[in-house]
Amino acid sequence: MSALLVVCISLCVAVPAVHGSINSVMSRLSDRIFLDQNTRDSPGHPPFSWSHNKGLYGTEVKLNFHGEPEMAVLREAFSIYDNNMFATAWITACSLETTLYGTGPMTIPLMIDSAVEAIGNFHNRNYNFTNSIMTFWPQVYNATTRTFQSTPSNLLQLLQLADTFPVKLIEDLMKIFGLKDMEQVVEHLIQEKDMFSRAFHIPPDFDDTFVNLGLGALLRNAQESYPQSWKQWQIQNSNVTSALHALRKYAYRPSSTNPDVNTIDPRTYFYMRSFLSEHHDENLALVPTWIQNTREAMQGDKKGVSMPFSVNNVDVTVAANAIYGLTSGLLSNIIDDVEFDADLQRIYLNTSSLIAHELSYNFSSRPDLALTYYPSKHECYWFVARTLSLMQRYLLNNNETDTLPFPVMNTVKLAFENTLKREVTPEILKASKDDFEGRIYWDNFLGDGDINSDNSSVVRAEDRIFTTAMVVNTLIDVWTVYNQSAFRLEWLPGVSPQLNDTIKRAVAWLTDFSLGPTYKPWNTFFSGSGKGLKSLPFWYPANRIEYMNGTAVNSSVIPHGVNFLIGISGYVPDEKYNAMLKVPHFGVMTPTDFPGFNDPTEPHGFFPFWSSDSYTYSATLMALSKYTNIKQ
Ligand SMILES: *[C@@H]1O[C@H](CO)[C@@H](O)[C@H](O)[C@H]1NC(C)=O
Ligand SMILES: *[C@@H]1O[C@H](CO)[C@@H](O)[C@H](O)[C@H]1NC(C)=O
Ligand SMILES: *[C@@H]1O[C@H](CO)[C@@H](O)[C@H](O)[C@H]1NC(C)=O
Ligand SMILES: *[C@@H]1O[C@H](CO)[C@@H](O)[C@H](O)[C@H]1NC(C)=O
Ligand SMILES: *[C@@H]1O[C@H](CO)[C@@H](O)[C@H](O)[C@H]1NC(C)=O
Ligand SMILES: *[C@@H]1O[C@H](CO)[C@@H](O)[C@H](O)[C@H]1NC(C)=O
Ligand SMILES: *[C@@H]1O[C@H](CO)[C@@H](O)[C@H](O)[C@H]1NC(C)=O
Ligand SMILES: *[C@@H]1O[C@H](CO)[C@@H](O)[C@H](O)[C@H]1NC(C)=O
Ligand SMILES: *[C@@H]1O[C@H](CO)[C@@H](O)[C@H](O)[C@H]1NC(C)=O
Ligand SMILES: *[C@@H]1O[C@H](CO)[C@@H](O)[C@H](O)[C@H]1NC(C)=O
Ligand SMILES: *[C@@H]1O[C@H](CO)[C@@H](O)[C@H](O)[C@H]1NC(C)=O
């Protein structure tokens, strides 16, 4: 009881911020990141301790409960250490950019070496050739199925514990502690066990794959400081072609007649329909999330390598990472120019057009679907902005030419420039919040849907530091360019005094609060695709609803188990699609609007998300470092 009380008090009372100079904040951020990297492999004994992999930085899997004080306690208390590639790749990328383009402290080479080596354990092992096809979790060999299965060891062990869990005892204890309604939540969690356990056995993805290529491009630029890391990355990635080959093979092609590549998650189709409607006769090809198709998912299911819901999707954030990986790979010659053939150029252009469209149109008012796995739109903004930044840098520092090496790249640059300067920037400025002490910050949603015991609302702003850092990184990448001979960032023409002032005040906020005790350093850098009942695939129009064995599913009863597919195949003309929106699916009308990530109509709803303190710190460090390098 008293422990809970302490948690609650520390959650509810704001402690004044500690002032510090920007340089001292940078060096303290850098220290925190240093301390968080695992220096060795260590086994765990869930739920008392967790296994840690050498070279990786900390990530926690949490559940986004919201609402009553007990829910906030649970959100804080539930935390499972996770070993994945994504967070470490991003933290390393931020560390590299911190010194490549900023004045911040240099990360010691051993840390980068160790991270790159750890990332080397995430190459797909189900191919018998060297490849750069990456997985989110490490794979472990399963002798029964003779496949390497994606294995989040801590999460799996926890689920196995649930089998022998004294559920009843825990529920009774919760009642004694006055955690009303918690029994239902626990029961719900246990019920979802099979779904979770299957959701872990995922195939490789284009996200991790292109983030790895983007990291390689940065390492090539930073090779003077990190020669060993660059060498190691090259050894691990001697077959970059494999990633491009996979992209051509698995791209989502709505106009194709091949059901393997023309079928997509009905939630993707729903948010994307205005884009598809405008461009459906252009033979579109788009970067999907998973490196697998529906046929392989059905075969792979028995082997424990299968996409969730057996169908691919298009996530705008994954798409942004793929475009960055391709752009940086080509500009730094990690990807050979001859590889960038007509089909890849089509995928590159079409995917960038989709990104620009979604950024300009408010993610079709459905960020829960468009940002399928990434609830932070601010993170998505930065992922797009860094591609533009790369192109601007190339043009400024290359005397010989005033164009990018491929015409299609120039087209993409214009599209990104338009959306980031004319749509995203004004929208960001509008959403900024003034603390009336000269500082500015931005909020997303974590901890912002709670109520106190007297039913008054409380904003805990648990992702405010991360969100503000990502906004600053976005604005700096859009509105400045790095001059290689001056080693400085320079403002681009068109910077308004308001923008200049906003960045300055946001940096002041980060300097004062990023290390203080007032706000959590949490983020939602990744999540499950379902954010609540309304984002489950069943309710969205689909034209392929079948069991793995090909038997059609009775469309009035939600199928049991996990061995089924719900997708939309091919292009469905507007008129037909709109008619599908007028009828219920599995008895429910399609949810047409977004209730927010803390849905007030689902007080016991929750979704899993991934948070990494070090990622927040490294994104903040990069923002401060670049800011202090802008020539005023
Ligand atoms: C790799 O696997 C493929 C099919 O799975 C097989 O045809 C080929 O012989 C294998 N190659 C090597 C070098 O083992
Ligand atoms: C590179 O990857 C491709 C698949 O994309 C594969 O066919 C080829 O054998 C690999 N090359 C090497 C040297 O492993
Ligand atoms: C091997 O894979 C099968 C099928 O996914 C699964 O049922 C089994 O539990 C796995 N074995 C281990 C040791 O993980
Ligand atoms: C898709 O790519 C094709 C081939 O490059 C191009 O003709 C078409 O305009 C593109 N459409 C969009 C929306 O990018
Ligand atoms: C943008 O999307 C949000 C949902 O995230 C919605 O609440 C809002 O009304 C939309 N704004 C506009 C201008 O369409
Ligand atoms: C660009 O030109 C300037 C002078 O014309 C020269 O000093 C500089 O080295 C050139 N930079 C590159 C990257 O070629
Ligand atoms: C709590 O407040 C909300 C609106 O702020 C209101 O709709 C609800 O009825 C209140 N609940 C109780 C128990 O007072
Ligand atoms: C880059 O900086 C150098 C040195 O300050 C300056 O001479 C040059 O004009 C700058 N380049 C551009 C394109 O602004
Ligand atoms: C296909 O699978 C479903 C669900 O497992 C089952 O109900 C159905 O009988 C199967 N059909 C055939 C033809 O095996
Ligand atoms: C589908 O399920 C409903 C409800 O259980 C049942 O009434 C109906 O007969 C089923 N339809 C088919 C084709 O099996
Ligand atoms: C930005 O503001 C600083 C003062 O904070 C000023 O020195 C600088 O000239 C401004 N730059 C632009 C591009 O407005």
162-174 pLDDT, tens per residue? 666 555 555 555 5
Cα 600 from Cα 605, distance rounded (Å)? 9
Q: Is the CB of 557 under 6 A from ligand 9?
A: no
Residue 8 scores a pLDDT above 50: no
Q: pLDDT at position 235, please?
A: 98
State the pTM of this model. 0.93
Residue 366: inside a domain: no
Residue nearest to atom 6 of ligand 3 (CA): 304
> Is the confidence at residue 19, as pLDDT, over 80?
no
Look at ligand 6, atom 8, and give the residue with the nearest C-alpha: 399
Helices (H), 304-432: 316-331, 342-360, 367-370, 377-397, 407-418, 425-431
Distance (angstroms) between ligand 1 centre and the Cα of 239 equals 16
Q: In Å, how far from its chain's centre is CA 111?
A: 23
Q: Give residue-wise pLDDT tens across range 129-141.
A: 999 999 999 999 9
Tell me, using a 6 A CB cutoff, whether residue 42 lines ligand 2. Answer: no
Amino acid at 561: G
Q: What is the pLDDT of residue 529?
A: 87
Structural domain contains residue 160: yes
Higher model confidence: residue 537 or residue 322?
322
Q: With pLDDT > 70 as the criterion, what percentage of the chain qualifies?
A: 90
Ligand 9 pocket residue status of 21, Cβ below 6 Å: no
Pocket of ligand 10 (CB under 6 A): 554, 556-557
Average pLDDT (582-607) is 92
Helix H or strand E segment including 374: none
- Compute the average pLDDT of residues 191-218: 84
Range of the domain at 171: 153-195
Asked if the model's pLDDT at residue 288 lies above 80, the reply is yes
Expressed in angstroms and rounded, the spacing between residue 486 Cα and the centre of ligand 8 is: 6
pLDDT over threshold 60, residue 3: no
Q: Give the per-residue pLDDT at 10.
A: 38
Q: What is the number of domains present in the chain?
A: 1
Tell me which residue has its CA closest to atom 1 in ligand 3.
142
Q: What is the pLDDT of residue 181?
A: 54
Ligand nearest to the CA of 129: 2
**76 is a domain residue:** no
pLDDT score of 2 more than 70: no
Q: Is pLDDT above 70 for 421?
A: yes
pLDDT of residue 416: 98
Q: Which atom of ligand 8 is nearest to the CA of 484?
A: 1
| Of 325 and 304, the one with more pLDDT | 325
Written as one string, the DSSP assignment of 6-72 is: HHHHHHHSPPPPPP--HHHHHHHHHHHHHHHS-SS-B---TTT---B-TTPPP-EEEE---SSHHHH
Residue 603 CB contacts under 8 Å (≥ 6 apart), including other chains = 67, 68, 71
| Maximum average pLDDT range among 62-66, 315-319, 554-558 | 315-319
Which range among 90-104, 109-123, 529-543 shows the weakest confidence by mean pLDDT? 529-543
- Give the separation between CA 366 and CA 622, rounded to whole angstroms: 29
Nearest CA to ligand 11 atom 6: 632
For residue 15, is it within any domain?
no
DSSP one-letter string for 98-140? HHHSS-SPPPPHHHHHHHHHHHGGGB--SSSS----B-SS-EE
Report the pLDDT value the prediction gives residue 163, as an integer from 0 to 100: 64
Ligand 4 binding pocket includes 553 (Cβ within 6 Å):
no
DSSP string, 145-162: TTEEEE--HHHHHHHHHH
In a domain, 181, yes or no: yes
- Residue 17 banded pLDDT, cuts 50, 70, 90: very low
The alpha carbon of 504 is separated from its chain's Cα centroid by a whole number of angstroms, namely 27
**Structural tokens at position 112:** 């980068």
Please state the rounded mean pLDDT for residues 200-222. 95
Mean pLDDT score, 471-490: 97
Determine the pLDDT at residue 15: 39
Looking at every residue in the chain, the average pLDDT score rounds to: 91
485 lines ligand 8 (CB under 6 A): yes
Q: Is residue 162 part of a domain?
A: yes
357 lines ligand 4 (CB under 6 A): no
Average pLDDT over every residue of 479-504: 97
Give the mean model confidence (pLDDT) for residues 100-106.
97
Note whether residue 100 is domain-resident: no
Going by their DSSP bridges, the two strands 630-631 and 488-491 should be labelled as parallel
- pLDDT of 51 over the 80 cut: yes
Q: Whose CA is nearest to atom 14 of ligand 5?
A: 365
Q: Whole-angstrom Cα distance, residue 626 to residue 493?
A: 18
